[in-house]
Structure 1
Amino acid sequence: MSASQFMRAVRITGHGGPDVLRLTEVAVPAPRAGEVLVKVSAVALNNTDLWTREGAYGVPGDPDARSGWRGPIGFPRIQGADVAGRVVAVGTGAKASLVGRRVVVDPATYDTAGPDANPVGLMGSERDGGYAEFVTAPAERVHDMTDSPLTDDQLAALPTAYGTALGMIERGRLRKGETALVSGASGGVGLALVQIARARGAKVLAISSGTKIEAVREAGAHAVVDRAGDIAEQVRAAAPQGIDVALDVVAGDLVSKGLSLLCEGGRWVIAGALGGHEVAFDVRRLYLRNAQVIGSAMHTPAHFDLLMDLARRAEVQPVIAATFPLERAAQAQEELSRRAHVGKIVMHP
């Protein structure tokens, strides 16, 4: 495929509201050495898309500074971390046998080459992503999912939400028979946490509200705590022995009030700040119970391999809330920001 061909893509040229998302025509990228070119069939949206567009990540020493996921972004940037599609071309050194295969792209850029490497960059933030008809990716980050019974939309829902969820569960060392508390349970990461924790054999308590409670139950939660009520009181009633692992994408006041819910040796894993990034808590509740607070950003390559195995066996079933065409990217992101949906929002380039 020659670079003289053009494709439709949605780019941002700076930080701002949904109006900075612009549909444009750009050259189809040519895969470099070790890369493949993927024709995008579905791209899922994430909170990361909103926060990257808004520049909402802050920097050390200045939490209000406009910044991308790991620092300043090179504009213009094509957004979109979560891609499912088919390989249509390969660069030198990449296996030609990948051409024609249905794949999921691991969107992370890692700090080292090993299986336990940490993510330090993200497709759609530190490099161009999948809000486009085509995207390039390193061949080693492309996973063959041709035989998975999941749909392309479901496969696109996996990388960030389910990768983040599995990273949290692995770093929190959640084991069969333990009790897990999941915050933000109706969102993409939340539903993924409920499904994977349930598949692990954990007892799952989920926090949700209103009309979403039943959908969270259907995803596998053993009990659902209503966010509108006294969360701590409801959790104590449902899990009088305490929580082994909290899987938290909300943070804020939930951490302050919730640490006392952990049992001896409990782990509080945080991978988001929907409820606020400034947290105060009584450290005595931490050290007197040998508890841990663990930060978790996405997944390692080993975690992603585990996730792809689950998806090949359809042991996770992503819920698709809505689909949009590429030209309605701004509306899709606005729908995501309203948080009225359950599951994942997907676009079709």
Structure 2
Amino acid sequence: MTKSDVMRAVRITRHGGPEVLESVRVPVPVPGAGEVLVRVGAVALNNTDLWTREGAYGRPDDPQARSGWRGPVDFPRIQGADVAGHVVAVGAGVDEVLVGRRVVIDPALYDGDGPDAHPVGLMGSERDGGYAEYVTAPAKQAHDVTGSALTDDQLATLPTAYGTALGMIERGRLRKGETALVSGASGGVGIALVQIARARGARVVAISSGTKIAAVREAGAHEVVDRAGDVVGQLRAAAPEGIDVALDVVAGELVGDGLPLLREGGRWVIAGALGGYGVAFDVRRLYLHNAQVIGSAMHTPAHFDLLMDLARQAAVQPVIAAAFPLEQAARAQEELARRGHVGKIVMHP
């Protein structure tokens, strides 16, 4: 492979709707020192793709500002955080034994080298991602899953959705025998939360709606309440002794309404704001019951190592809702935004 080689990619040069996604031919990236070059087998879509494209993250000093995940996006930017594929080349200082290995890339940019480092950036936002035929990544974040029974499509769904889910479960200290509430249970993170919490031996009470309820039950939820009805009333009936850990990607009014459902010492973990980022709750429900509200953004390196162990064992079975060719990235993102699916949407370069 030479520097003159080109590849197909989809990138954005500004914030906006699906129309800002450009299908282009660009040079194949060259792996730097400590990096690998991966031929993308599959790339999964996430809400972060939509929000980065729209600039919907806001800034601490201006919640309405157009911004990427952790600040202004350096355009042009190739989107796509979640990649499964094969290593085809390595940079200086990287063992060539990696060439040919099947890998999943940890897409986080961390604030340090330790196992508990915090993610402060994301592939597809703060560096180029996998909406392309090839992508580079730090070699230490290309995890060898060569022996996994999961398909490339399934492996590609893991980094952001399952990484976020596992980060929430770890930060919420969910234990066997506890009752977990999962909001937004039919989405990518929601299905991951249901599957991992069930595998941990928790009793899972999920919130979903309509035709998706059966699929959420099939994923492992013990009880599913319909968000179109009286959610709090249904939750009280489904978990009369209360909730130990809420795993919440919805936020909004659910936080204020749901906090009184927590048991003593309960934990409410938030990793999304599909229901709105403006939250109000009775603070007495927090301090009088030794409860905690915990923010959770993605995963740590230690969490991702645990996730890759699950991948190698095929201990979770990601649900694929649809697959699109790379050239239909705009259509794929529109499908994601409609939220009519259960599981994950992937693309094939």
Matches of 1:238 and 1:227, distance apart in 2: 13
Tell me whether 1:337 sits opposite 2:316 in the alignment: no
Matches of 1:84 and 1:62, distance apart in 2: 36
Q: Which residue number in structure 2 is paired with residue 212 of structure 1?
A: 212
Tell me whether 1:298 sits opposite 2:298 in the alignment: yes
Could you tell me which amino acid in structure 2 is paired with residue 27 of structure 1?
A: P
Secondary structure at the aligned position of 1:116 is classed as coil
Secondary structure at the aligned position of 1:257 is classed as helix
Q: Which residue number in structure 1 is paired with residue 71 of structure 2?
A: 71
Q: Which residue number in structure 2 is paired with residue 154 of structure 1?
A: 154
Q: After superposition, where does 1:262-273 map in structure 2 within 5 Å? A: 262-273=262-273
Secondary structure at the aligned position of 1:240 is classed as coil
Alpha-carbon offset, residue 161 of structure 1: 0.0
Q: After superposition, where does 1:106-255 map in structure 2 within 5 Å? A: 106-255=106-255
Matches of 1:172 and 1:95, distance apart in 2: 37
Q: Which residue number in structure 1 is paired with residue 20 of structure 2?
A: 20
Could you tell me which amino acid in structure 1 is paired with residue 268 of structure 2?
A: W
Q: Which residue number in structure 2 is paired with residue 80 of structure 1?
A: 80
Secondary structure at the aligned position of 2:321 is classed as strand
Could you tell me which amino acid in structure 1 is paired with residue 283 of structure 2?
A: V
Matches of 1:174 and 1:257, distance apart in 2: 21
Alpha-carbon offset, residue 308 of structure 1: 0.4
Matches of 1:120 and 1:316, distance apart in 2: 27
**What is the total number of aligned residue pairs between the two structures?**
349
Tell me whether 1:275 sits opposite 2:297 in the alignment: no
Identity level (%): 82
Output one character per residue of 1:213-242: Cα deviation in whole Å (capped at 9) or x when no partner.
000000000000100011111111011110
Give structure 1 regions of 4+ aligned residues with deviation exceeding 4 angstroms.
none
Secondary structure at the aligned position of 1:305 is classed as helix
Could you tell me which amino acid in structure 2 is paired with residue 197 of structure 1?
A: A
Secondary structure at the aligned position of 2:2 is classed as coil
Output one character per residue of 1:236-282: Cα deviation in whole Å (capped at 9) or x when no partner.
10111100000000000000100000000000000000000000000
Secondary structure at the aligned position of 1:64 is classed as coil
Output one character per residue of 1:258-313: Cα deviation in whole Å (capped at 9) or x when no partner.
00000000000000000000000000011110000000000000000000001111
Mark the runs of 5 or more structure 2 residues left unpaired by the alignment: none
**Considering only aligned residues, what root-mean-square deviation do their CA atoms show, in Å?**
0.4
Could you tell me which amino acid in structure 1 is paired with residue 73 of structure 2?
A: I
Matches of 1:15 and 1:256, distance apart in 2: 32
Matches of 1:115 and 1:61, distance apart in 2: 30
Q: After superposition, where does 1:81-100 map in structure 2 within 5 Å? A: 81-100=81-100
Output one character per residue of 1:156-203: Cα deviation in whole Å (capped at 9) or x when no partner.
000000000000000000000000000000000000000000000000
Secondary structure at the aligned position of 1:8 is classed as strand
Matches of 2:324 and 2:253, distance apart in 1: 34
Q: Which residue number in structure 1 is paired with residue 54 of structure 2?
A: 54
Tell me whether 1:327 sits opposite 2:327 in the alignment: yes
Alpha-carbon offset, residue 55 of structure 1: 0.2
Output one character per residue of 1:77-116: Cα deviation in whole Å (capped at 9) or x when no partner.
0000000000000001111000000100000010010000
Alpha-carbon offset, residue 8 of structure 1: 0.3
Secondary structure at the aligned position of 2:259 is classed as helix
Matches of 2:99 and 2:85, distance apart in 1: 11
Matches of 1:101 and 1:194, distance apart in 2: 30
Mark the runs of 5 or more structure 1 residues left unpaired by the alignment: none
